[in-house]
């Protein structure tokens, strides 16, 4: 299959859509990002990368970081983790408070904001002040790039406007399902959301999930085969908030989006994928990114279905 040709064709086909969607302007630092941008990268098991568009351009990974925090927490706590968070789709917006109230402070899954804040709390409980550094080291390792870091401007901007996320943390605390200082937890959460990567780094970072928890290039095992299966399953069912069903229907791959406009996806036993375009649809997922992945799996037949 000529992947380069396929990606270049997709880049052409999505062009008319680049002006659609809306950047995440509820985070002021992200409101400044120019909407008409697109990049897509595939990383194969031998390390070959095929890209189209501005694949070296760094962007805010936002909720894609939740795949990495979930991986770390699952590795540390195992199934104990599910005492504090569920693994069911929420069917609600990513930052909703309502469900959390009537489900007694237990977030539906690790990928909605409440769930990810809860996972961050669990990581702080296990690693203390080193929680963020440990996470960053892990991301640098799976992406094979030591330059990766967080953009403090974005993290600060989120903290200054993070009323809803702080409300989620405080609500969980009131149900005794959050154990550290809420400000510290939310600050750490924003810091990992503000990590900057490009599509090359992110598609490379998905290889361990495409290969049963083991990086096919370094042969390092990051998580067990069983845990990799679980993470992929939660990505498929919960990775796109209340549009997770639609993403599975259109794309048919485990994936995770972020409001920075990135989407990562996993083709089991084949490759890691990342696509980026900052214009979002109504559910907070990259509009063009979703379309590009839909075209990719339709044209290559590489969905899991």
Q: Residue 241 catalytic?
A: yes
To the nearest 10 degrees (0 to 180), the angle between helices 287-300 and 3-13 is 140
- Please provide residue 150's backbone torsions phi and psi, each rounded to the nearest 5 degrees: -100, 150
- Residue 210 or residue 259: which is nearer to ligand GLU going by CB? 259
- Residue 62 or residue 118: which is nearer to ligand GLU going by CB? 62
Query: Which chain residues interact with ligand GLU by CB under 6 A?
Result: 62-63, 94-95, 113, 158, 165, 193, 258-259, 284
Options 66, 106, 187, 291, the catalytic residue: 66
* Closest distance of CB 78 from ligand GLU, Å: 26
How many Cα atoms occupy the beta-carbon half-sphere of 275 within 13 Å?
28
- Residue 113 or residue 211: which is nearer to ligand GLU going by CB? 113
- DSSP H/E element including 150: strand 149-150
Options 3, 132, 189, 222, the catalytic residue: 189
Strand partners, 280: 22, 286
* Closest distance of CB 18 from ligand GLU, Å: 20
Options 154, 259, 267, 275, the catalytic residue: 259
Options 51, 60, 63, 244, the catalytic residue: 63
- Residue 71 or residue 211: which is nearer to ligand GLU going by CB? 71
For residues 11 and 195, what is the distance between their CA atoms, to the nearest angstrom?
25
Q: Residue 189 catalytic?
A: yes
Pairing of the two strands 255-257 and 262-267:
antiparallel
* Closest distance of CB 82 from ligand GLU, Å: 22
Distances (CA, A) of 185 to 7, 50, 138, 232: 39, 37, 19, 25
* Closest distance of CB 158 from ligand GLU, Å: 6
The CA angle 55-253-305, to the nearest 5 degrees, is 140
- Residue 41 or residue 165: which is nearer to ligand GLU going by CB? 165
Among candidates 256, 241, 273, 1, which has minimal Cα distance to 108? 241
Which three-class secondary structure state does DSSP give residue 111? Answer: coil
Options 3, 132, 208, 241, the catalytic residue: 241
* Closest distance of CB 291 from ligand GLU, Å: 18
* Closest distance of CB 201 from ligand GLU, Å: 17
- Residue 158 or residue 294: which is nearer to ligand GLU going by CB? 158
For residues 52 and 41, what is the distance between their CA atoms, to the nearest angstrom?
7
Q: Is 249 exposed, middle or buried (0-12, 13-18, 19+ CB in 10 A)?
A: exposed
- Residue 255 or residue 258: which is nearer to ligand GLU going by CB? 258
For residues 53 and 167, what is the distance between their CA atoms, to the nearest angstrom?
38
Distances (CA, A) of 31 to 24, 157, 259: 6, 11, 11
* Closest distance of CB 8 from ligand GLU, Å: 28
Q: Residue 259 catalytic?
A: yes
Active-site residue list:
63, 66, 189, 241, 259
């Amino acid at each position: 299959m000529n992947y380069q040709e396929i990606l270049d064709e997709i880049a052409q086909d999505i062009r008319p859509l680049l002006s659609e969607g809306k950047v995440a302007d509820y985070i002021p630092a992200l409101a400044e990002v120019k909407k008409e941008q697109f990049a897509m990268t595939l990383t194969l098991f031998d390390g070959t990368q095929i890209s189209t568009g501005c694949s070296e351009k760094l962007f805010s990974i936002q909720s894609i970081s939740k795949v990495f925090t979930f991986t770390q927490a699952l590795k540390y706590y195992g199934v104990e983790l599910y005492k504090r968070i569920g693994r069911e789709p929420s069917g609600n917006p990513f930052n909703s408070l309502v469900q959390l109230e009537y489900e007694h402070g237990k977030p539906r899954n690790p990928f909605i904001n409440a769930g990810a804040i809860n996972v961050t709390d669990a990581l702080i409980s296990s690693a203390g002040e080193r929680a963020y550094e440990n996470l960053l080291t892990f991301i640098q390792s799976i992406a094979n790039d030591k330059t990766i870091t967080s953009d403090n401007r974005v993290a600060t901007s989120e903290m200054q406007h993070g009323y809803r996320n702080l409300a989620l943390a405080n609500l969980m605390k009131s149900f005794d399902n959050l154990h550290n200082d809420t400000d510290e937890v939310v600050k750490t959460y924003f810091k990992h959301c503000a990590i900057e990567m490009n599509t090359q780094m992110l598609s490379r970072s998905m290889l361990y999930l495409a290969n049963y928890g083991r990086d096919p290039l370094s042969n390092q095992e990051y998580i067990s085969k069983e845990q990799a299966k679980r993470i992929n399953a939660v990505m498929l069912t919960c990775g796109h908030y209340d549009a997770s069903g639609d993403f599975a229907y259109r794309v048919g791959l485990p994936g995770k989006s972020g409001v920075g406009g990135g989407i990562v996806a996993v083709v089991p036993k084949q490759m890691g994928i990342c696509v980026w375009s900052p214009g979002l649809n109504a559910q907070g997922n990259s509009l063009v990114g979703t379309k590009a992945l839909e075209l990719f799996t339709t044209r290559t037949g590489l969905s899991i279905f």
